[in-house]
Amino acid sequence: MNKRAAFQMTLSMAIFGSIGFFTRQTGVSAEALVFIRCICATLFLGVMWIAVGQAKKEIWQKREVGRTLFCGIFLVLNWVFLFKAFEAMSISAAISIYNLAPIFVLIMGTLFLRERINIQSILAVVICFLGSLFVVGIDQFQSVDNFLNSGFIWAILSALCYAMTMFIGKGIQQLSAYATTFLQTIVGIIMLAPIVSMSEFSGLTMSNWLYILGTGFIHTGFVYYLFFNSLRHLPALVTSALVFVDPLVAILLDVAILDFRPTLLQFVGIACIFGGVIYTLIKPVPQQT
């Protein structure tokens, strides 16, 4: 195994695990933060794309570019919904539900690609959904409105959109990861520019701006560079395992800095979600009928 690549992947996931904490310190809405994030990522990754010489090697196919742009819509919505979830619920709960994305990919493969699903996979799906209800603290809600305002819907939508990004992105074969993300962040700028109010950025402190720019250049630009640079050198099983560094760091920061204290039911829910997701990632590749 390439130790340098493993280190880069681990570092990228560890840094990304702090995005929930950064989001809480920015002082702007989810839409505004994603808008700035897209601008920063476009600049950073665009420069890296040219610097490494990949821009000259791209193979542009109209159908694949169209798929990439369509995929970009779900990528941007995934970010917006995740940040909205961070605003409404604990980071640990939001990130745990967000990591249901592989489960949704499994379901999509069954529905649209006719991939076989066994009883163990069905059980894993059920356990994950029960875990998500435990994580959100469903036992503490007195009404449906109370539950809907908990952030659960935003977290589920973010996981669904992330799953759509992965599902649609499977068909992108020719474009490099740099080109793909560059195009998708351009989509984000176009999507969010009409709805973001520039007045949100007035009156922000220097600390707010540092967290905003950190989310853009570090969590998106630098992290994506490390991720893409290491991904090609690591086997899929190692990559799947290292991805869990992200939620681990997020939960540790939530407990250590933001004083999150999970109830017994929430702890069980987190264990259910990650147990089911780990099974989904390591199970044999399903056969098509």
pLDDT: is 113 or 174 the higher one? 174
Residue % of the chain over a pLDDT of 70: 91
Look-up of token digits 């929430």: 266
Q: Which residues of 61-97 are buried (b: 16+ CB within 10 A; e: fewer)?
A: eeebbebbeebbbbbbbbbbbbbbbbebbbbbbbbbb
| Beta-bridge mates of residue 46 | none
The yes-or-no verdict on residue 158 having pLDDT over 70 is yes
The torsion angles phi and psi of 195, rounded to 5 degrees, stand at -110, -10
Amino acid 119: pLDDT: 82
Query: How confident is the model over 176-191, as pLDDT tens digits?
Result: 888 998 999 999 999 9
The torsion angles phi and psi of 191, rounded to 5 degrees, stand at -65, -45
pTM tops 0.75? yes
Sign of the dihedral through C-alpha 218, 219, 223, 225: negative
The yes-or-no verdict on residue 6 having pLDDT over 90 is no
Look-up of token digits 């809405």: 29
What's the mean pLDDT in 139-164? 79
Amino acid 140: pLDDT: 59
247 pLDDT tier (thresholds 50, 70, 90): confident
Locate all alpha helices (DSSP H) within the chain, ordered by sequence: 3-16, 19-24, 30-51, 62-88, 91-98, 101-112, 119-135, 144-148, 152-169, 177-192, 206-213, 223-231, 236-242, 245-256, 264-282
141 pLDDT tier (thresholds 50, 70, 90): low
Query: How confident is the model over 102-111, as pLDDT tens digits?
Result: 888 888 888 8
